[in-house]
Amino acid sequence: MIINVKVKEGNKPIEQKDGYLIVYTNEPREENKANKDIIKQLAKFYKKDFREIRIIRGGRSRDKVIEIY
């Protein structure tokens, strides 16, 4: 499954809007901490193992394309 994600600062639960998810994180972007937090949140949201989720596009952007196996 391929999903589009928009990342915003904050500490809110994941929201669904018009074909994409909004994921909130307070983690810094250094050393991929924010991306790791996003993957952990999505794993919990979809009840998957975090190793089943990967960022296809947008590793350094707020708009990401994520694949879930």
Contact 67, 9 (CB under 8 A): no
Q: How many CB atoms lie within 10 A of CB 41?
A: 19
Give the single-character DSSP code of 62. Answer: S
Helix (H) or strand (E) holding 68: strand 63-68
Helix (H) or strand (E) holding 55: strand 53-57
- What are the boundaries of each domain within the chain? 2-68
Q: What is the mean pLDDT of the chain?
A: 96
pLDDT of 47 = 97
pLDDT tens digits, one per residue of 32-58: 999 999 999 999 999 999 999 999 999
pLDDT of 56 = 97
Instruction: Give CA 5 to chain center in angstroms.
Output: 6
Whole-model pTM over 0.85? yes
What's the CATH number for 2-68?
3.30.1200.10
pLDDT of 30 = 92
